[in-house]
Amino acid sequence: MPKGGRKGGHKGRMRQYTSPEEIDAQIKAEHEKAQEAELEESGQGATGDPTKEQKDHSSDESSDEDDDDYQQKRKGVEGLIDIENPNRVAQASKKITQVDLEGPKELSRREREEIEKQKAKERYMKMHLAGKTDQAKADLARLAIIRKQREEAAKKKEEERKTKDSAPAGAAKGMQSLSLNK
């Protein structure tokens, strides 16, 4: 026996293609079966005019869509199993009429923290300008020391200037008196 099993395999088979008309017919048949099943579930049954039933059913669908409890049709086993996952959030779509633009907008955590940070900074600057913070008190003490030092330096300069002004005048008198004595 060859390595790959039977000779030929599946690749040589003849392929069958479905025509577009057959596909459309299958889709229509499935759609009609689904409508009949929905009509039977709603309790109307298959009696009466099918066009009226379809019109009534379409108006029922529009009223169902208006309800807040409207849920999409579940696929497969989802309809049989109730899932209670606290992390799963059902996406509720809101209509434009339900959206409240004038109400207060809830801020994200980052936005709240940024606003609080700005307010704290402003509050600190006000207290700093009023001289109530530790840093402002230290700055004011440093300024007071510097002012005292500058005042003392100014007094020393004034005294030196006075002594310089009086010393040359006194020396000049002494020089004149010496020259006169000769």
Chain segment 42-77, per-residue pLDDT in tens: 775 445 454 544 444 444 444 444 444 445 666 677
In a domain, 12, yes or no: no
Query: Across the chain, what does the average pLDDT equal?
Result: 76
Q: Range of 163's domain? A: 111-181
Q: What is the pTM of this model?
A: 0.31
Distance CA 70, CA 61 (A): 10
* Higher per-residue confidence, 122 vs 104: 122
Distance CA 53, CA 45 (A): 9
In a domain, 18, yes or no: no
In a domain, 52, yes or no: no
* Per-residue pLDDT, 138: 93
In a domain, 122, yes or no: yes
In a domain, 62, yes or no: no
Of 11-15, 112-116, 156-160, the least confident: 11-15
What is the average per-residue pLDDT within 92-111? 77
Helices (H) and strands (E) in the chain, counts: 4, 0
Q: Which residues, including other chains, have CB under 8 Å from residue 142's CB and lie 6 or more apart?
A: none
* Per-residue pLDDT, 11: 65
Domain count, the chain: 1
Q: Which residues, including other chains, have CB under 8 Å from residue 107's CB and lie 6 or more apart?
A: 115
In a domain, 74, yes or no: no
* Higher per-residue confidence, 81 vs 122: 122
* Higher per-residue confidence, 65 vs 36: 36
In a domain, 127, yes or no: yes
